[in-house]
Amino acid sequence: MLPLSLLKTAQGHPMLVELKNGDTYNGRLVSCDTWMNITLRDVICTSRDGDRFWKIPECYVRGNSIKYLRVPEEVIDMVNEEDLERERTYNTLSSPFVSHLLPREARHWQVCPGLSKSGRVGGWTRRP
Amino acid sequence: MTQGLYFMVYRETEARGPAQPHAIMAATLEKLKDRVICVITNDGRNIVGVLKGFDQTTNIILQECHERVFSTTAGVEQVPLGLYIVRGDNIAVVGEMDEEADAALDLSSLKGDHLKPVIH
């Protein structure tokens, strides 16, 4: 399972984010992207030493400043089978070692989860 | 000619998202999937948990993890943490945990100095 897919599944759930500078942000995950940049809602920020607190209605955290995220345990059960199948195809075909062997047009194709069940090899299709 | 090819591959991977280094590293972590591992982070923390997932930048999913805090005075303190996503930038070492050897340890009497954080 990819960490970023787990994070995507955790949208809407409360979580704890510790930054590299030691500050902790406790809030509900609104959204995340491929660089782990996240937006949180109803956040309580605690300073590194635990002596100062801020209440922030909405905040954006840059992915590269994150040390770790603590996610509720039920989220891992929510990542469903279809997402795992899609990941498996993505992992093989997106690797730079393989992708340059695909036809040039294939580089902007995306995995279409529905088609992987129809028996097409790799489940790739053209997306506008 | 070869340089041009590498440049093309680099451009494609960049468009896909974060940098994708070594597939060799990912192959090593694949072996540890669903096993108990021990992670040492850049700030010198020792975290033990089940490896549920990882990616090319070594971001890691640890389930049922706990932190082992070593001290020179008292025994080892195990702090339960739950489900963690640890960012790859912060990981120094990942190792497979020998569960039998670990069960044989008496952690409450084990004393040791804490690890220092990584200096770049």
**Tens digits of residue pLDDT in B36-93:** 999 999 999 999 999 999 999 999 999 999 999 988 888 888 899 999 999 999 999 9
The share of chain B scoring above pLDDT 70, in percent, equals: 78
The burial class, CB within 10 Å (0-12 / 13-18 / 19+), for B62 is buried
The answer to whether position A96 is within a domain reads: no
The answer to whether position B28 is within a domain reads: yes
The answer to whether position B116 is within a domain reads: no
The answer to whether position B1 is within a domain reads: no
- A32: containing domain: 3-70
Q: Which residue has the tokens 């069960």?
A: B103
Structure tokens at A33: 């992207």
The answer to whether position B74 is within a domain reads: yes
- B35: containing domain: 20-109
pLDDT, residue A103, reads 67
B28-55: string of b/e by CB count within 10 Å (b at 16+)? ebeebeeebbbbbbbeebbbbbbbbbbb
pLDDT, residue B17, reads 45
Residues of chain A with pLDDT under 50: 110-125
Per the structure, the count of domains in chain B is 1
Indicate which CATH number applies to the domain containing A49: 2.30.30.100
Indicate which CATH number applies to the domain containing B101: 2.30.30.100
Per the structure, the count of domains in chain A is 1
Q: Do B60 and A20 touch (CB under 8 A)?
A: no
Binding-site residues on chain A for chain B (CB distance < 8 A): 1-7, 20, 34-36, 63-64, 66-73, 75-76, 94-97, 99-100, 107
Indicate whether this complex's ipTM tops 0.90.
Answer: no
The answer to whether position B11 is within a domain reads: no
Which of B12, B84, B85 is the closest to A96 by Cβ? B12
Chain B contacts of A67, Cβ < 8 Å? 41, 43, 86-87, 90
Q: Which of A6, A97, A109, A23 is nearest to B21 (CA)?
A: A97
Residue B114's pLDDT band (boundaries 50, 70, 90)?
A: confident
Q: Do B87 and A73 touch (CB under 8 A)?
A: no
The answer to whether position A37 is within a domain reads: yes
Residue B49: strand pairing partners: B37
Contact A63, A19 (CB under 8 A): no
Contact B41, B49 (CB under 8 A): no
Model's pTM, two decimal places?
0.71
pLDDT, residue A122, reads 46
Q: Which residue has the tokens 């997306």?
A: A127
Q: Which residue of A has its CA nearest to B5?
A: A100
